[in-house]
Structure 1
Amino acid sequence: MPVGLYTATDSHTIHFHQLQRGTSDRIRNRRVNERSGKEVELSGIVKGYASGGEYVLVEPEELDEIAPGRSQTLEISGFVDLDEIDPIFFDKTYYLGPRGKGYGKVCSLLEQALDRTGKAGIATFVMRQHEYLVAVKAEDGLLTLHTLHWADEIRKPKDEIDGLPGKSKGTAKEVKMAEQLIEALAMTWDPEQFHDTFQRKVAALIEAKKAGETVEKAEPAAEPTGAVELVQALRASVERARGPKSTGGTATRSRSVKATEKKPAAKKRVRSEPKEDLSGLSKAALYKKASAAHVVGRSHMTRDDLLTALSAA
């Protein structure tokens, strides 16, 4: 079945050009012969493998000639339960579509069979002179292809991490309180709830500099919790988490330990006036109120996050 491979994800990272400081001159990367200093065209470049003080030269066509299936075949070796694949193996995701009008039924048949059985097809193929291990699965009525890392590409944690979590055991009381904190902050997975706030800040910084204005700096990082203070910090976090829950993402929750260490929440409330309707305020107005209310993490929040945090406060 001829298929087309389509990129399933996109990056929203803001890209910058490199300039020489004090000028508007672009800095560009060029392919330069290190001996002569002259620029070399892409067509004049071959691959070389260093061996014994010399280079073994390999042409691109030679790599294509030895590729399994000549880079044109995605061959499924077998089918496995998707849950059997450890998440650490997953890399990139692509959509698969039939290439040609006569292959839509075959593609649909494979998608339906994978969906009914809950299996994923394990396959290999070559793309851009690299062989990939992949998993093909059914997802929302279409076929998706997930590239996987090879087994020998997965690093062993014991070789990389000096202080593995298992080497320092917490007390039964500490573990119990940590479990309570996790349960108190349990939530339903909703990817639409989370946003790249840093990229928003970068865009705001660019607009502010264009207008000759300044932007507020982010709050300093939370101080690490000392071992002696751990139980107290956990207890304060559990109490905070069990209070009114925020529905605006993790922006206010992720800093609960930092907030409670400095100023534990009061247990008594005095209500003298009805709550103010904040729904019609702009983000700038909400931010001013958040500053006055000392809302933690406000510099990272969206308008909805600010509204939720103020309503909870």
Structure 2
Amino acid sequence: MARPVWSGVLSFGLVSLPVSLYTATDSHTIHFHQLQRGTSDRIRNRRVNERTGKEVELEEIVKGFDTGEEYVLVEPKELDEIAPGRSRTIEISGFVDLDTVDPIFFDKTYYLGPKGKEYTKVYGLLEQALEESNRAGIATFVMRGREYLLALKAEKGLLAVHTLHWSDEIRDPHKEIPDLPTTGKASSGELKMAHQLIDALAIDWRPKDYHDVYQEKVAALITAKQAGETVEKAEPAPKATGTVDLMDALRASVERARSPKDTGEKASTSTTRASSWSLRALTKAELYEKAAKAGIRGRSGMSHDELADALAGAKRS
């Protein structure tokens, strides 16, 4: 059973609910140690006094803010003493229409659970009310020395907390990104073809259809190196589509995306297409090997994408 990362009280109006906060997601990134090349010697980071060169214990370290002329020293406990919400309370200041919160504000997701069976009725009441009203509670709280803005919402029978970015943390894209389109629109023909391509590539959202191909390749690389073998390098990224070639590329894309519809219904086609896009992350050699095992005819003359489409179709069948 998971351990809570924070415990406290959720309050809305005059109602108080003891709760615990749990991490909602995991990372499956493969972690490496740092070694000196040519050896198996670990490289470690240490806290070292830059003047004396001696290592410093954690309890001897204080925080210092550089004013440009001197350091203003701050003890960790002083930060705790001034932190808002020292009573460990998530106090909801109001409820907003969930559809009005721009997705860019959402950061990390946590599950919120009642701290004891005796509080399940209040917990369930709030979850049901938020679900039916499509609203989210907005609040702030402090965790691990940092204040968070959050949205509390109902999600499939439980309460979830989404930490939000502060408004001044959202960057203006027009100041950050060069070459954004400002003048000139697509022609009616290009726009029509783009809509057709989007419709042709429409799929149902099934998260389980997607997996982290890169991490699988990293694991395969480690296994191959253990066995003294080599692995095939990934194919280079496709060339950028120029303005002159845009209509041709759109038209060809629509024709290829529509082709599976002749042999199945739209739902089946959507599943096939999602599987096809996942397969395209593999190299041609890997696709060919899978095609050989699946007994796909004509595989020797197929391109990388044709192999992926054929495998996806065979998988659906």
TM-score, normalisation: structure 2: 0.82
1:295/1:287 CA distance change after superposition, 3 Å: farther
Q: Aligned to 2:93, what secondary structure does the other structure show?
A: strand
1:248 is displaced (CA, Å) by 4.5
Determine if the alignment matches structure 1 residue 156 to structure 2 residue 172: yes
Q: CA deviation at 1:168?
A: 4.2
Maintained 8 Å contact 2:197/2:254: yes
TM-superposed CA distance for 1:297, in Å, is 5.2
d(CA) in 2 for partners of 1:184, 1:174: 15
Aligned equivalent of 1:41: 57
Q: Does 1:217 find its partner at 2:233?
A: yes
Equivalent position of 1:175 in the other structure: 191
C-alpha separation in 2, matches of 1:293 and 1:216: 20
1:89 — aligned with what?
105
* 1:23-77 per-position Cα deviation (integer Å, ceiling 9, x unaligned): 0011111111111111111111111111131111111111111111216011101
Contact map agreement 1:287 1:298 (CA 8 A) in 2: no
Identity among equivalent pairs (%): 65
Q: Cα distance 1:215–1:180, how it changes in 2: closer, same or farther (>3 A)?
A: same
SS at match of 2:86: helix
The alignment's C-alpha RMSD in Å is 2.7
CA–CA distance in 1 between the matches of 2:162 and 2:63?
29
CA deviation string 1:262-310 (max 9, x = no partner): xxxxxxxxxxxxxxxxxxx9848448969624342599x7xxx873156
Partner of 1:247: 271
Listed as ranges, the gaps of 5+ residues in structure 2 are: 1-16, 261-268, 281-287
Is contact 1:194-1:249 (8 Å) kept? no
What is the alpha-carbon distance in structure 2 between the residues aligned to residue 221 and residue 309 of structure 1?
25
Distance 1:196 1:167 in 2: 38
Higher deviation after alignment, 7-16 or 43-52: 43-52
CA–CA separation in structure 2 for the residues paired with 1:288 and 1:28 = 51
- Paired residue secondary structure (1:69): coil
Equivalent residue letter for 2:242? G
| 5+ long unaligned stretches in structure 1 | 257-280
The answer to which of 192-201 and 164-173 deviates more is 164-173
User: Matches of residues 249-288 of structure 1 in structure 2 within 5 Å?
Assistant: 250=274, 252-253=276-277, 283=290, 285-286=292-293
Change (3 A) 1:40 1:251: farther
Counterpart position of 2:134? 118
Q: Quick one: distance in 2 between partners of 1:4 and 1:311?
A: 43
CA distance in structure 2 between the aligned counterparts of 1:53 and 1:160, rounded to whole angstroms: 32
TM-score, length basis structure 1 = 0.83
Amino acid at match of 2:271: T
Q: CA deviation at 1:198?
A: 0.7
Amino acid in structure 2 at the alignment position of 1:83? D
Is the contact between residue 125 and residue 131 of structure 1 (CA under 8 Å) also seen in structure 2?
yes
Partners of 1:198 and 1:142 lie apart in 2 by 32
Deviations 1:109-161 (CA, angstroms, capped at 9, x unpaired): 21111112111101100111111110001111111000000001000011011
Question: Given that residues 246 and 252 in structure 1 are in contact (C-alpha distance below 8 angstroms), is that contact kept between their aligned partners in structure 2?
Answer: no
| 1:29 match | 45
Secondary structure of the residue aligned to 1:243 is helix
Q: Which residue in 1 is equivalent to 2:300?
A: 292
Matches of 1:8 and 1:62 in 2, distance apart? 31
Change (3 A) 1:18 1:167: farther
1:6 to 1:311, Cα distance in 2 relative to 1, 3 A: closer
287-296 vs 210-219, greater mean Cα deviation = 287-296
Farther-moved stretch of structure 1 (133-142 vs 107-116): 107-116
Contact map agreement 1:71 1:125 (CA 8 A) in 2:
no
From 282, 305, 311, the equivalent of 1:307 is: 311
In 2, the alpha carbon distance for the partners of 1:311 and 1:99 equals 46
